[in-house]
């Protein structure tokens, strides 16, 4: 009997897929990285399915690649030869939603936006909202410690994760964290698993923090600038002034052109950058007017404050469609460096200079309020990987981010694509410690091998 046959017989009928064409569709994420040839796909519908799969994988020494919605941008869910893809998309129940305690208990396949909508029925919200929130899952968000448009005020996924149910590599189940807002018993295993990209265990449930939804729709502004650096300076001024925006997004000229080519947004010839900001404070209109003044003081050529929730939502929708607009131009190497927000103008300038120096098309958007930039390097579709000049440009961008006291990734994770730069940030001692932690949880190295560290 082949090892895969033992797995098929140990799970309910229909849980394991072995058709090569079907498997291939589960072996990829949203990157250009070509997958290997997995043995099969497990469509887990319960924690018991995950336990059975991990026990089988440990017995037969088979690598396991956990997978959520497949919307990742770093290659963390790309499957290798001879592996099993463990899809958690069917585990999509909101097990509990407690308005009194302001928490929810959810399975990993719950769509991020669906949890937010369920919370809002009780006057609450789930704060993390990556641009892919209509297709990304809570499990994938936890695996990469995803951020999103509201993270400037409410933090990233780790800030909303209270506790986890995790299946370890050998099939044992542990529960980490708590249901309370405070708790310091033992090591912070919840924080360790969040952002571990499926290399330490498989998350099968999470207790997450909900927050009170704003009583009224947030106030929104859009500002246009003649230079990207001026836009970055306006962001720094807004944050230094203590405005506490709930959203602060920056879009460069090249990204605006991609959106205009697709959606005909009426882009003005002199606009080099657009800044979109929101406040959901009780005095949101006054806060937005203050941010408007700061934009004008820092070189904005035009600022408009939205007059309706529908108008504001259309602005945010354009920002969320940014990556789809870029995908229309070619293959994308997507990065997400993060720098101290006071140095955002310097990082923006460095990206512009790198693009010109190497002749590489780089389109940049940013969660500008927390210094997280997404430079996207465009190259010809159909190439197995980016050409040399793209890698050279990416090398420069990452090195400059680190020189400014930043990091290689703010929210997408390391996956496969950023491993080439890890030593620049981590160093040998940190690498050794991380490998030691990996060995404790996954001594056989079967959980998402080759990813994250």
Assigned domain for 443 exists: no
Q: Give the CATH number for residue 118.
A: 3.30.465.10
Number of domains in the chain: 4
In angstroms, the CA 198 to CA 161 distance is 16
Q: Tell me what pLDDT residue 363 has.
A: 96
d(C-alpha 381, C-alpha 329), whole Å: 9
Instruction: Report the CATH number at residue 301.
Output: 3.30.70.2190
Structural domain ending residue among the three candidates 284, 310, 328: 328
342 and 415 belong to one structural domain: yes
Q: What distance in Å separates the CA atoms of residue 89 and residue 111, rounded to the nearest whole number?
A: 9
**The domain boundary residue, chosen from 33, 60, 87:** 87
Q: Is residue 102 part of a domain?
A: yes
Do the domain assignments include residue 174?
yes
State residue 434's pLDDT score.
96
82 and 10 in one domain? Answer: yes
pLDDT given at position 342: 87
Asked whether residue 448 is domain-assigned, the answer is no
Domain check: are 78 and 175 in the same one?
no
Write down which residue in 87, 119, 148 finishes a domain: 87
Instruction: Supply the pLDDT for residue 164.
Output: 98
| Paired residues of 201 in beta bridges | none
CA 230 to CA 219: how far, in whole Å? 23
Instruction: Give the pLDDT confidence score for residue 315 in this predicted structure.
Output: 87
One domain for residues 115 and 204: yes
Say if residue 231 is exposed, middle or buried (CB neighbours under 10 Å; 0-12, 13-18, 19+): buried
pLDDT of residue 1: 57
Q: Per-block average pLDDT, block size 10, for the chain (453 residues)? A: 87 96 94 95 98 98 97 94 98 98 98 98 96 94 94 95 98 96 92 97 98 94 94 94 96 96 94 96 95 97 90 89 94 93 90 96 94 95 93 96 94 92 91 96 98 93
160 token code pair: 């909303």
Is there a domain that residue 172 lies in?
yes
323 and 339, same structural domain?
Answer: no
Contact (Cβ atoms closer than 8 angstroms) between residue 426 and residue 357: no
Asked whether residue 139 is assigned to any structural domain, the reply reads yes
Same domain, 131 and 207: yes
Same domain (yes/no): 241, 333? no
Same domain, 286 and 297: yes
Kindly state whether residue 119 falls inside one of the protein's structural domains: yes
Which pTM value belongs to this model? 0.94
SS3 state at 29: coil
74 lies in the same domain as 160: no
Q: Which residues are paired to 374 by β-bridges? A: 365
Q: Are both 107 and 207 inside the same structural domain?
A: yes
User: Residues 232, 292: one domain?
Assistant: yes
Q: Quick check: is 449 in a domain?
A: no
**Three-state DSSP class for 277?**
strand
Q: Which two tokens stand for residue 213?
A: 């939804």
Residue 427 sits in a domain whose CATH number is 3.30.70.2740
Residues 240, 343: one domain? no
Domain that holds residue 225: 214-328
CA distance 213 to 40: 42
CATH (domain of 77): 3.30.43.10
Identify the pLDDT of residue 311: 87
């Amino acid at each position: 009997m082949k090892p895969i046959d033992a797995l098929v017989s140990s799970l309910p009928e229909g849980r394991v897929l072995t058709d090569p064409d079907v498997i291939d569709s589960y072996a990829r994420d949203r990157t250009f990285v070509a997958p290997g040839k997995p043995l099969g796909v497990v469509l887990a519908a319960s924690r018991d399915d995950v336990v059975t799969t991990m026990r089988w994988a440990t017995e037969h020494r088979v690598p396991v690649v956990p997978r959520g919605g497949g919307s990742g941008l770093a290659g963390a869910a790309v499957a290798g030869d001879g592996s099993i893809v463990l899809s958690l998309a069917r585990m999509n129940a909101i097990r509990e939603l407690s308005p009194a305690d302001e928490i929810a208990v959810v399975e990993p396949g719950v769509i991020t936006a669906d949890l937010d909508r369920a919370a809002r029925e009780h006057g609450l919200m789930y704060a993390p909202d990556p641009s892919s929130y209509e297709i990304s899952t809570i499990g994938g968000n936890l695996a990469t410690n995803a951020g999103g448009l509201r993270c400037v005020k409410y933090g990233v996924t780790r800030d909303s994760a209270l506790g986890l149910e995790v299946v370890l590599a050998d099939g044992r189940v542990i529960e980490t964290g708590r249901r309370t807002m405070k708790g310091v018993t033992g090591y912070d295993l919840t924080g360790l698993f969040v952002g571990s990209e499926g290399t330490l265990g498989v998350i099968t449930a999470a207790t997450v923090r909900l927050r009170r939804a704003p009583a009224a729709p947030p106030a929104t502004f859009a500002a246009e600038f003649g230079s990207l650096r001026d836009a970055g300076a306006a962001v720094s001024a807004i944050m230094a002034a203590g405005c506490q925006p709930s959203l602060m997004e920056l879009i460069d000229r090249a990204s605006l052109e991609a959106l205009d080519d697709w959606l005909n947004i009426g882009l003005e010839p002199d606009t080099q950058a657009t800044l979109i900001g929101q406040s959901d404070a009780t005095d949101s209109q006054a806060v937005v007017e203050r941010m408007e003044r700061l934009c004008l003081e820092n070189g904005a050529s035009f600022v408009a404050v939205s007059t309706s929730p529908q108008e504001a939502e259309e602005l945010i929708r354009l920002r969320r469609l940014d990556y789809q607009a870029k995908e229309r131009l070619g293959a994308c190497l997507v990065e997400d460096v993060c720098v101290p927000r006071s140095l955002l103008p310097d990082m923006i300038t460095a990206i512009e200079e790198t693009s010109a120096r190497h002749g590489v098309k780089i389109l940049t958007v940013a969660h500008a309020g927390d210094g997280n930039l997404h430079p996207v390097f465009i190259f010809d579709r159909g190439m197995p990987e980016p050409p040399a000049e793209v890698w050279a440009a990416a090398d420069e961008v990452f090195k400059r981010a680190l020189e400014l006291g930043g990091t290689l990734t703010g929210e997408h994770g390391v996956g496969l694509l950023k491993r080439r730069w890890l030593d620049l940030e981590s160093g040998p001692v940190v690498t050794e410690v991380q490998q030691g932690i990996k060995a404790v949880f996954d001594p056989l190295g079967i959980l998402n091998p080759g990813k994250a560290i």
